[in-house]
Structure formats: structure tokens, C-alpha cells
Chains A and B, each alone.
Chain A
Amino acid sequence: MTVEATRAEPIPVAEWVTIPDLYADPYPIYRRLRAVAPIHWVPAVNRYLVIGYDACHTIELDQERFSADETGSLMKRSMGHSMLRKDDPEHDAERRSYGGVLRPKAIKQHWQAVFERNATTYLGRLRAAGPGADLVAEFAAPYAAENLRAVLGFHGATQEDMQRWSQTLIDGTGNYADDPEVWAAAERSSREVDEAIDEMLPHLRANPDASLLSQLSGMPMPLEALRANLKMTIGGGLNEPRDAVATTAWALLSHPEQLASVLAGGRWAEAFEESIRWVAPISMYPRQATRDTELAGMAVPAGARMGVVVGAANRDPVVFTDPESYDIDRPRKPHLAFGGGSHFCAGAWIARASVVGGALPRLFAELPGLRLDPARPAVVGGWVFRGVLGLPVLWD
């Protein structure tokens, strides 16, 4: 698809946007930007931020004009060159190597039982920590990490290893300040993951199981690509279910009438989907324009580094009525929290199964009177990745 760029409008510059403001609360910034245009050059982040729903969706569906293979990618430096930074057909070949491991059939056969078991374990840990405990640190994070460890097949590692690897590799991916300590931590984790993969591959070849590493151990894939894809999956597969559990719990505890409706009707799936629309765990991801082109009536130059801000698109009032509110009863429209097109989240069904099927109903069933701690409010942060960082809770 070639689009004439000659009649397109110039993209405005938003020099007033700062990274600390984005981190603290990006939504008022997106509202102010949206009133002007769906795309802005934001010098503080050195990107064109695309905040309109239609524009974000157009990018997702058009990898010829908007490539995932970004020049100077921090993610490539931190995690290696994974499929997330490749276009088809290379992306497609690597994605197919994941086979059925993350799909509904495997979830039914293997993973749902694992998620149930892990929910029991980490609800026990939260309960043992006692009222006032942090739901993120005591439940959501270790639960998501242990699920991921099982699905990936890192049988020699711990959930704490998974949390450390995920956080430090992601910190590298977002290391725009080029902090050497952040790079050092990411490199350390990268080596540890490589060692864990090297340890597991021969074992899983001899003792195959349902895990992703087991599936990959029989594939003729270059080790470099396998390693990069696993690191990407560690990054993407932990934060997102963790944040979805915590954000949904926070949203429901802050909206008692909606919580009552969810409890009465088993509406956990609706609570989850609305939660990731409201606060998309992965709120921004990069693309690069392959040519001079037009997007949303605006001129995008060849080579432009773009940020697809699905966290903003998911609150576009053109698509969602009263978009800033958490409302499980809103008319259902497709949100972009799982991305779209060929990079649609490969872990979407795992996320749904572990959060909706495993964590949320059990959390509210087993901790009667679960409520926010009025003395210590939830801490929320981030804009590239956004989520509840701390959620002190009480129960009876």
C-alpha cells in the first residue's frame, strides 16, 4: 500500500511532555495531545507518539509501511533480536515455532491445572503475610512468575529468578538514559537465561514435556534466535499477567458496585478485558516508518521512529464512551491491549486463563472482605509498561 504524503499535514511538536510526567500519569497528557492531533513528535522520548485508535490500528496492520525491525532498538541490545522486532516472513517462521504451547488446547490439557495449583500456593503466601500485605509482591508477581516458569520450561530456575530476569531485561529495553548499571544488570540476566536454556535443552530433548523450551528443543532454529525469543517471552509473559491481576483487583476494589456485579454474575472475563483496556500493561511499543507516508492525514517521514501508544488508543473517545472510567458495562469494542495484526500477543490465551481462570475468582473467594487499605493507597506508575506497583490490602 503506497500513500501519497504530499497533501498530508505536518506533525506537531509537543516539547512540553516529560518522561517523569508520563511515568506518573500519562492520561492527562494523552488527553491534551489528542485535542491537537493523533500524532506528535515528542522530543523527550525521541519518538513520534501515535495516540489515536485508528492510527495505532492502521500501523498494527501494515508492516510494509511500519516495520517492527527498528533501527537502534534498545530491546535488541537487551534481549537479542527476537521475533517482536522482526517483520514477516521471518517473524512468522519464528512465531510458528511456538506451535500450540500457548494455545487453548494446551491450556486445557496442561496449564490450567498448573495455574490452579500456583494460585493456591501464592494465595497461601498472601494470607500468611497477613492483612496489610502487598497484593502485588505477595501474590500477583510470584504467581505470574511461577506460571511463566512452568510454561517456558525453566525447571532449574525459581520464580524469583524469573522476576529478576524479566525486570532487568525490560529495564534494559527501556534504558533511554543509557545507564551503565542498567545495562550491566540486563547483561547479567541475559547470561543467566542463556545458561538456563543451555542446561534445559538437552534435558528436555531426552525428557520432552508440554513446555515451550521442550517444543523449541526439537526445532532447527538458530540458538541466537531461540535465546532472544525466550528473553522476549520472559519480559512479556510476566509483567502483563502480574499487572492485569493487580489492576483488575485495584479497579474492582475501587468500584464496589461493579465488584458486586462481578461476584454475582461470575463476570471475571469482562472485569479483566475492561481492566487491560483501561490500563494497558504494555502501553507503548515501537515501529519505524519504511518510507515517506501518510497516517491519519499527517506526513510521516521515512525512518521515523514511532511509538504506538495503545494505552492512549484504548481511551480514544471516538471509539470508547467515557473512556477514562473503569466500566464493565460499557458497550464492548475491541481494545488494543494485546496488540493486533501479525504481532497479536501470542500469550493472550495464557493471560486470560491465568488471570480469569486462575487468579481473580480465587483471590476474592478466599480472602473474604478483601478491601483496599485506606491508610496506604495503591501506587501506580509507568507509561511504556504501566501497572499497579504496590497494592496494600486488608481482609477479614
Chain B
Amino acid sequence: MPKVIYHHEDGATETVAADAGSNVMRAAVQNGVAGIVGECGGQAMCATCHVYVREAHLDSLPEIGEDEEEMLDCTAAPRDERRSRLGCQLTLGGDLEEVEVDVPATQI
């Protein structure tokens, strides 16, 4: 079962196991991980599931799509050119069996 490790600003860590086909946003919302909102339910429309992916996993990520690209310019916390992604666009399973992300200080 794929696994997501969420690192919070205060140093706390949460590990969530999720079904393949789920994503980093949905896994967080369904398991009550604080700091991931996912207002639009995963349509790359709201920028409230912004995460910073840790370096070790960057090569396993899918390409940034056009919708995700424009939404990453609308995040409440600063965009990191290398590490910022929308959690809803990071589908779990396949190349992404495990991923560690830093949760931004704010999503709104």
C-alpha cells in the first residue's frame, strides 16, 4: 500500500497509508492531516493542497501539467521552483509508492 509522510512546520510527522490511485491531497483529507485543505476536491482549481516534496522523491513525480502550473503561482505560501506541487496531482502507486512532503505554513 502506498505511503505518504507529511512533515509539519512544528516538526511533527504523520504517516498515512493510502490506496494506489489515491493522491497526496486525498490521503491527507481522508485521514484528517492538518494543513491540507483540498477545497476543490482535486481539480487543480484551488491551490489549497500545496506541498513541498522532499528532494529524494522529486525524480519519481509526474510532470507538472498546465493547470497545476498556473495554480502553483496562486499558492498562499511561497512557491518553491523545485519542490512545490499540488497534492491532488500526485497520484500514488506506480513510481510513487512512497513520498515525503513538507506541509506549508498556510494554504489560504
- Could you tell me the distance between the alpha carbons of A60 and B70 in the complex, rounded to whole angstroms? 25
Complex contacts, B55 vs chain A, CB 8 Å? none
| Minimal beta-carbon separation of A279 from chain B (angstroms) | 18
Report the interface size class on chain B.
10 to 19
Partner of A103, one of B37, B48, B70, B108: B70
Complex contacts, A334 vs chain B, CB 8 Å? 37, 39, 48, 107-108
- Could you tell me the distance between the alpha carbons of A32 and B84 in the complex, rounded to whole angstroms? 44
- Could you tell me the distance between the alpha carbons of A108 and B89 in the complex, rounded to whole angstroms? 23
Interface segment among A65-73, A225-233, A337-345: the answer is A337-345
Partner of B108, one of A61, A104, A332, A346: A332
Q: Find out whether the CB atom of A344 lies under 8 angstroms from the CB atom of B106.
A: no
- Would you call A105 an interface residue if the criterion is a C-beta within 8 Å of the partner chain's C-beta atoms? yes
Q: Find out whether the CB atom of A340 lies under 8 angstroms from the CB atom of B40.
A: yes
Q: Find out whether the CB atom of A346 lies under 8 angstroms from the CB atom of B41.
A: no
Complex contacts, A100 vs chain B, CB 8 Å? 66-67, 70
Report the interface size class on chain A.
10 to 19
Partner of A332, one of B29, B46, B106: B106
Complex contacts, B41 vs chain A, CB 8 Å? 60-61, 340-342, 344
Q: Find out whether the CB atom of B71 lies under 8 angstroms from the CB atom of A104.
A: yes
- Would you call B43 an interface residue if the criterion is a C-beta within 8 Å of the partner chain's C-beta atoms? yes
- Would you call A273 an interface residue if the criterion is a C-beta within 8 Å of the partner chain's C-beta atoms? yes
Residue on A nearest B73 in the bound complex, by CB? A104
Q: Find out whether the CB atom of B74 lies under 8 angstroms from the CB atom of A104.
A: yes
- Would you call B45 an interface residue if the criterion is a C-beta within 8 Å of the partner chain's C-beta atoms? yes
- Would you call A8 an interface residue if the criterion is a C-beta within 8 Å of the partner chain's C-beta atoms? no
Complex contacts, B70 vs chain A, CB 8 Å? 100, 103-105
- Could you tell me the distance between the alpha carbons of A104 and B79 in the complex, rounded to whole angstroms? 16
Q: A104-B70, A104-B71 are in contact. Are A340 and B108 (CB under 8 A)?
A: no
Task: State the B residues within 8 Å of A (CB).
Answer: 29, 37, 39-41, 43, 45-46, 48, 66-67, 70-71, 73-74, 106-108
Q: What are 25 contact pairs spanning A and B, CB under 8 A?
A: A61-B29, A100-B66, A100-B67, A103-B45, A103-B70, A104-B70, A104-B71, A104-B73, A104-B74, A332-B108, A333-B108, A334-B39, A334-B107, A338-B39, A340-B40, A340-B41, A341-B41, A342-B41, A344-B39, A344-B40, A344-B45, A344-B46, A346-B45, A348-B45, A349-B74
Apart from A61-B29, A100-B66, A103-B70: 13 A-B pairs, beta carbons within 8 A? A60-B41, A61-B41, A103-B45, A104-B73, A104-B74, A332-B106, A332-B108, A334-B108, A340-B41, A341-B40, A344-B39, A344-B43, A344-B45
